[in-house]
């Protein structure tokens, strides 16, 4: 991270040399023209004003402004092609589909592994696997890496972790015979929205005799805060803990270097920034240091190495690395959707995605704070090292009417009642003009609903 | 079962009154004409001689004879329609797909539950859930229902259980701190192929102080033996054990009355007789007696009741019944494929499917044993109470060449080296003429390869 700019405004200002106002349509259009990722926008299908299930005003064929990629990413058009191929394979080949076709069903989780490994910063492709859903994977990995031992039996999580993670951790504690007091919670200081890294590090250090597992999200789903995964992973390992990450909102969104940081495991879903469709196939990372000597974990026939699986041995001949955590034969349908999206990531490159993310989120922040700060507050950190694509906005008014109004103009975004809006200008398909138009429409709605 | 005929030959003979030979093409055609399920054949897409990835001789457009539904069921044509709808929903609605469309993504596992409950014989729809893959579900359910306590800590399985089940049980024992000796194996008597019910019952009774969980497959994947689930479930409960069933080869194939039999749980996959596609969504049953007081189990946000899930409470407000075992948001893609198939089951009715299964498997058995008994032996029980659709054939010759030859004539079936063939005339789409033709082609190949 050392060499990277940390101030998007400075970078944007540099471009302004050739334009005259950051707020102008002209500037947004200019940024789009210069955008090295602009050709990817057309690789996604956009909902239109006429195709979404709400009343809208405006040209019914015009695309919506989609700022909800933190919830469900847009569909890569290629997803249709790969899915149709899978359906054709099934129909035309029956059981032969297991080992034939572009993405053979029985091997369907393999083609995406290399790109996935590079997205999460795994040193070895065998450190990642593509399987199941996120919470299933969280359990499978915790089952192995959460090893309570005497007093060192606690799990450190955030006070405001996504409910599924809290439920998962609580039920895992119960299953391993540890009481509710096994949940150690870190939270923001009074009056603050986000958690300070120093407080997390101190919590780990102070409780190193009690913490068995540090299990945080890479990027907080509500505030948009990106945790300093490098520092926290290192501190966790130094304190003799296992370290696991829920990367639901981080994968495909921010830079990840899991191997380098030394995390023991990570899990993620693919339906947000990875654009792989609702309920899409999840993923998991297991650090290389464990590959030679995996902790006891749950097994099934897919834990077995591919080349000896059908010998149907009495005992598992384990697959190398994270694949040993697989249990079932993979669903080619989900793997095909996932692969259609991963190809775009490979082509675009995480580097370019991160660069545009830095700029476009900064642009959004600039417009919101200069034009609408009497209506809303951005609770996501200003420091770009502590955030990704998403900005979380808290309003001082009833959001219901505002949300309704902007939706009728074709803005698709996420609202968390009572008064928070999460806006994610996903770099692969959101344009600078989208962002400007969103702010214009939001401003109009805020004034209208006053 | 009491009132049902147990001798398919007698039933077939009765029909023969109007025909003159069970072996004639005439008779097969007559049976197809009389088949109340014949209209369903056209609801499935058949691989053709030209569309499978092998060299074949014959009209390249003619459908294959598909006898492999015990491995991967054929594609219901409606699967294309529902999948296309899901893809369109995603593209046209983005995140709105979660709660809109014919099968809303966030509720995608619900529409199939009623039909599924009736297929497995669940008294209450809430006793079944549709989720994950089979081995994942087996672990989630064993995690809850396998409760080793002192000496009563063993799991009874078959010696020849499907590898995934053996691997799952062994890793579960390890996870719960029980040694390898926790696997108690029941097997066929010396010189016999299948396991006697009396031996299973005796094993349970003799070891009732040691067995915590009885975990067998409903229908043995290799021999085709259907276990007497009613007697075994009752014996297991009487011995104070938990009883769980792997119904991979039983669901959609044989009569199931899980609630009545009193099994504690069951799990299954949907890609075999349920025709829901490779890696299709699995299912699980939890007996009503547990709904009021579920054993501790792993949880996620989908364990929460639907109507309060998005309140994102601190503690889980559990869904009723088996749904409480869900962890992740469901993949609508897999649920849509599953639903396309379940609709056919609902329309056809399990009763009619079982009736045809009884007849067509008996017909296959008759042709094989009268014409080919010098080449092969059927190891599947003759007693129709102890089998479903599949017949497992053991040959006294090298099957490689034979398999190759029949495949080139458009027969798709499963071979387990060295010398076993599993033949499943799935009643929804296999015709009597298919069966006759299969036996003709097999006979020709056996004579040719001699
Ligand atoms: C009897 C039995 N159990 C378990 C499995 C494993 O299934 P899955 O890969 O869906 O977990 C199979 C697969 O064919 C099976 O036949
Ligand atoms: C941070 C986080 N963790 C876990 C989950 C649960 O995901 P799944 O339903 O895929 O298990 C989500 C879902 O949005 C999430 O945002």
**Nearest CA among A56, A58, A54, A51 for reference residue A74:** A51
Q: How many residues does chain A have?
A: 450
Is the CB of B177 inside 8 Å of chain A's CB atoms? no
Ligand 2 touching residue A135 (CB < 6 A):
yes
Q: What is the pLDDT of residue A276?
A: 98
Please tell me the least confidently modeled range out of A5-19, A92-106, A214-228, B79-93: A5-19
Asked whether the beta carbons of A101 and A89 are under 8 A apart, the reply is: yes
Say whether pLDDT at B63 is over 80.
yes
Inter-chain CB proximity B280 and A331 less than 8 Å: yes
Q: Which two tokens stand for residue A180?
A: 């509710």
* ipTM associated with this complex: 0.95
Say if ligand 1 is within 6 A of residue B248 CB.
yes
**A328, A334, A337: best to mutate for the B interface, most B CBs within 10 A:** A328
Strands A414-416 and A128-130: unpaired
Provide the token pair at B229: 């689930």
* Ligand closest to the CA atom of residue A303: 1
Q: Is A346 on the interface with B (CB under 8 A)?
A: no
- Nearest residue in chain B measured CA to CA from A69: B95
- Beta pairing class for A391-395 and A420-423: antiparallel
pLDDT-based confidence at residue A20 (cuts at 50, 70, 90): low
Write down how long chain B is.
Answer: 450
Ligand closest to the CA atom of residue B218: 1
DSSP designation for A188: P
Burial track B200-209 (b if 16+ CB lie within 10 A, e otherwise): bbebbeebee
Q: Which atom of ligand 1 is nearest to the CA of B217?
A: 1
Q: How far apart are CA A45 and CA B405, in angstroms?
A: 47
Among A138, A8, A329, A440, which residue's Cα sits nearest to residue B276?
Answer: A329
Q: Which residue is closest to B327 within chain A, CA to CA? A: A135
Q: What's the CA gap between A210 and A190, in Å, rounded?
A: 25
| Rounded CA separation B162/B142 (Å) | 16
Residue A109 Cβ < 6 Å to ligand 2: no
Q: Please report residues of A whose CB lies closer than 8 A to that of B330.
A: 279
Q: Is the pLDDT of residue B1 over 60?
A: no
- Ligand 2, residue A282: give the atom nearest the CA: 10
pLDDT reported for residue B450: 81
pLDDT value of position A1: 44
Q: At B243, which helix (H) or strand (E)?
A: strand B242-246
pLDDT band at B441 (very low <50, low <70, confident <90, very high): very high
Q: Give per-residue pLDDT as tens, B150-183.
A: 999 999 999 999 999 999 999 999 999 999 999 9
Residue of A nearest to B54 (CA): A96
At B31 the three-state DSSP class reads: helix
Q: How high does pLDDT run on average in chain B?
A: 95
Confirm or reject: Cβ of B329 under 6 Å from ligand 2: yes
Q: Confidence band (pLDDT; 50, 70, 90) for A17?
A: low
- Phi and psi (nearest 5°) for A129? -145, 155
CB count within 10 Å of CB B243 equals 28
Min Cα–Cα distance to chain A from B408, Å: 14
**Looking at residue B46, what DSSP letter applies?**
P
- Does residue B428 register a pLDDT over 80? yes
At B311 the pLDDT is 86
For residue B422, what are the β-bridge partners? B392, B414
Q: Residue holding tokens 């849509």? A: B336
CB A154 within 8 A of CB A212: yes
Task: Report the gap between the CA of A87 and the closest CA in chain B (Å).
Answer: 7
Strand pairing of B75-76 and B44-45? antiparallel
Q: How many angstroms separate the Cα of A201 from the Cα of each of A204, A221, A228, A232?
A: 5, 21, 10, 6
Check whether B19 has a pLDDT greater than 70.
no
Distance, CA of B285 to CA of B428 (rounded, Å): 24
Give the nearest chain B residue to A48 (CA atoms): B92
A406 in reach of chain B (CB within 8 A): no
Distance of CA B161 to the CA centre of its chain: 14
* Integer Cα distance of A76 and B343 in angstroms: 30
d(Cα A422, Cα A249) in Å, to the nearest integer? 12
Give this prediction's pTM.
Answer: 0.96
Q: Tell whether omega for the bond before B191 is within 30 degrees of 0, i.e. cis.
A: no
pLDDT of residue A283: 98
Tell me the per-residue pLDDT of B297-351, one tens digit each, with 9 for 90 and over: 999 999 999 999 888 888 999 999 999 999 999 999 999 999 999 999 999 999 9
The C-alpha atoms of residue B422 and residue B402 are separated, in whole angstroms, by 14
Percent of chain B with pLDDT over 90: 90
Residues A305/A313, Cβ–Cβ less than 8 Å: no
> CB distance from B327 to chain A under 8 Å?
yes
Chain B residues whose CB is inside 8 A of the A47 CB are: 91-94, 96
Two tokens, residue B234: 């009752």
- Long-range contacts of residues A113-118, Cβ cutoff 8 Å, at least 24 apart: A115/A342, A115/A343, A115/A345, A115/A346, A116/A283, A116/A342, A118/A346, A118/A350
Please determine, for residue B212, whether its predicted confidence score (pLDDT) is greater than 70.
Answer: yes
Question: What average pLDDT score do residues B272-294 get?
Answer: 98
| Cα angle, residue A107 at apex, residues B336 and B133 outer, rounded to 5° | 45
Task: Give yes or no for residue B11 having a pLDDT over 80.
Answer: no
Q: In what order do the strands lie in the sheet with B414-416?
A: B376-378, B391-395, B420-423, B414-416
Section A217-241 average pLDDT: 98
Residue B65 C-alpha, separation from nearest chain A C-alpha, in angstroms:
11
Q: Are strands B154-158 and B211-217 parallel, antiparallel or unpaired?
A: parallel
Q: For residue B79, report the distance from its CA to the centre of ligand 2, in Å.
A: 28
Residue A13 pLDDT more than 80? no
Sheet containing A376-378: which strands, arranged edge to edge? A376-378, A391-395, A420-423, A414-416
Residue B3 confidence (pLDDT)? 64
Predicted local distance difference test score (pLDDT) of residue B22: 83
Does residue B216 contact residue B158 with C-beta atoms inside 8 Å?
Answer: yes
Is B255's C-beta closer than 6 angstroms to any atom of ligand 1? Answer: no
Calculate the CA dihedral of residues B152, B158, B161, B165 and round it to 10 degrees. Answer: -10
- For B171, the closest chain A residue by CA position comes to A298
B374: which 2 tokens? 């010098």
Considering only CA atoms, give the Rg of chain B: 23
Q: What pLDDT digit, counting tens, does each position of A274-307 carry?
A: 999 999 999 999 999 999 999 999 999 999 999 9
Longest pairwise C-alpha distance within chain B: 72
Tell me how far the alpha carbon of residue B436 is from its chain's centroid: 24
C-alpha to C-alpha distances, B159 to A397, A440, B152, B275, nearest whole angstrom = 66, 69, 20, 28
The pLDDT, as a whole number, for residue B347 is: 98
A159 in contact with B, Cβ within 8 Å: no
Q: Which atom of ligand 1 is nearest to the CA of B269?
A: 10
Find residues 68-107 of chain B whose CB sits inside 8 Å of chain A: 68, 71-72, 74-75, 77, 79-80, 83, 87, 90-98, 100, 105-106
- Distance between CA atoms of A211 and A204, rounded to whole angstroms? 7
For residue A358 the two structure tokens come to 């830095």
Alpha-carbon span A78 to A80, nearest angstrom: 5
What pLDDT does A3 receive? 64
For residue A87, what is the DSSP state? H
pLDDT tens column, A106-125: 999 999 999 999 999 999 99
Pairing of strands A183-186, A154-158: parallel
Helix, strand, or coil (residue A44): strand
- pLDDT band at residue A2 under the 50/70/90 scheme: very low
B281: chain A residues, CB-CB within 8 Å: 331
Which residue among B253, B269, B277 is best mutated to probe the pocket of ligand 1, counting the most ligand atoms within 8 A of its Cβ?
Answer: B269
Sign of the C-alpha dihedral, residues A21, A22, A23, A29? positive
Name every residue whose Cβ is closer than 8 Å to that of residue A377 and which is 6 or more positions away in sequence. Answer: A393, A394, A396
Q: How many CA atoms within 13 Å lie on the side-chain side of B342?
A: 26
pLDDT at A133 exceeding the cut of 80: yes
Percentage of chain B exceeding pLDDT 70: 98
Query: Quick one: which ligand is closest to A132's CA?
Result: 2
pLDDT at A373 over 60: yes
Tell me how far apart the alpha carbons of residues B10 and B15 are, in angstroms, rounded to a whole number. 9
Q: Cβ contact (<8 Å) for B92 and A51?
A: yes
Contact map slice: B 202-261 vs A, CB within 8 A: none
Task: Determine what percent of chain A is predicted with pLDDT higher than 70.
Answer: 98
Given a cut of 50, whether residue B416 has pLDDT beyond it is: yes
Identify the pLDDT of residue A19: 64
Nearest to B175 by CA among B204, B206, B138: B138
Six-digit token string for A273: 């920034």
């Amino acid at each position: 991270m050392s060499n990277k700019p940390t101030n998007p405004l400075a970078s944007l200002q540099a471009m302004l040399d050739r334009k005259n106002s950051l707020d102008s349509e002209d500037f947004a259009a200019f940024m789009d023209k210069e955008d090295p990722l602009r050709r990817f926008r057309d690789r996604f299908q956009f909902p239109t004003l006429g195709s979404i299930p709400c009343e809208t005003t405006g040209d019914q064929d015009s695309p919506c402004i989609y700022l909800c990629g933190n919830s469900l990413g847009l569909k890569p058009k290629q997803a249709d092609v790969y899915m149709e191929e899978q359906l054709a394979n099934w129909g035309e080949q029956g059981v032969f589909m297991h080992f034939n076709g572009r993405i053979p069903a029985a091997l369907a989780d393999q083609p995406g592994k290399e790109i996935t490994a590079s997205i999460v910063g795994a040193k070895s492709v065998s450190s990642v696997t593509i399987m199941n859903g996120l919470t299933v994977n969280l359990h499978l990995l915790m089952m192995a890496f959460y090893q309570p031992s005497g007093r060192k039996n606690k799990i450190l999580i955030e006070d405001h972790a996504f409910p599924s993670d809290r439920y998962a951790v609580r039920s895992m504690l119960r299953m391993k015979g540890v009481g509710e007091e096994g949940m150690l919670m870190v939270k923001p200081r009074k009056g603050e929205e986000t958690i300070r890294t120093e407080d997390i590090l101190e919590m780990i250090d102070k409780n190193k005799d009690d913490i068995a597992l540090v299990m945080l999200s890479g990027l907080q789903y509500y505030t948009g805060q990106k945790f300093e995964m490098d520092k926290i992973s290192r501190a966790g390992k130094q304190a003799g803990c296992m370290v696991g990450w829920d990367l639901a909102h981080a994968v495909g969104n921010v830079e990840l270097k899991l191997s380098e940081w030394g995390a023991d495991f990570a899990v993620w879903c693919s339906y947000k920034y990875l654009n792989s469709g609702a309920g899409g196939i999840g993923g998991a990372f297991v650090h290389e240091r464990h590959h030679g000597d995996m902790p006891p974990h749950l097994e099934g026939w897919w834990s077995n190495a591919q080349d000896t699986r059908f010998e149907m041995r009495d005992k598992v001949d384990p697959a190398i690395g994270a694949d040993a955590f697989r249990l079932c034969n993979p669903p080619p349908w989900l793997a095909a959707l996932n692969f259609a999206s991963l190809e775009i990531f490979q082509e675009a490159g995480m580097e370019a995605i991160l660069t545009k993310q830095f700029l476009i989120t900064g642009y959004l922040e600039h417009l919101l704070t200069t034009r609408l700060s009497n209506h809303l507050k951005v609770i996501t950190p200003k420091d770009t090292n502590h955030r990704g694509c998403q900005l979380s906005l808290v309003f001082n008014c009833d959001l219901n009417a505002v949300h309704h109004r902007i939706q009728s103009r074709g803005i698709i975004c996420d609202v968390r009642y009572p008064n928070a809006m999460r806006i994610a200008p996903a770099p692969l398909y959101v344009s600078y003009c989208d962002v400007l138009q969103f702010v214009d429409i939001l401003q109009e709605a805020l004034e209208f609903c006053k």
